[in-house]
Amino acid sequence: METFYTAYTKLLDYKTYYFVKKFTAFPEFKDVSPILESYGMHTNFDKACAIAGLTDPLIKEQLLQQAEENMPRAKVVELGNNSFSSKSIAG
């Protein structure tokens, strides 16, 4: 039996939420998927960990780094004047 955690972020209502999930896996059984034991969701990473039951500072540090590395980045789209061929009034 193994215990492992995952973490990721999601933007909801213009706020970044942290999701922390705790799983138990049984690698000795080939066709058994990991079981979700607990999870936490909060705008504060430490509170999300506390809700999920995670207290180990080393695991928390690794998960925070993992979550922030996978955080979606904003995409900048240049809109210059030469992008439009003509202007018209919607009617």
Q: Read off the pLDDT of residues 25-37 as tens digits, 9 standing for 90 and up.
A: 998 998 899 999 9
Average pLDDT over residues 39-50: 96
Q: What pLDDT band is residue 88 in, cutting at 50, 70 and 90?
A: low
What is the pLDDT at residue 86?
57
Q: Is 4 helix (H, G, I), strand (E, B) or coil?
A: strand
Given CA atoms 11, 7, 38, 44 in this order, what sign does their dihedral have? negative
- Model's pTM, two decimal places? 0.72
In order of 1, 51, 85, the CA distances from 78 in angstroms are: 51, 41, 16
Residue 68: which pLDDT band, with cuts at 50, 70 and 90? confident
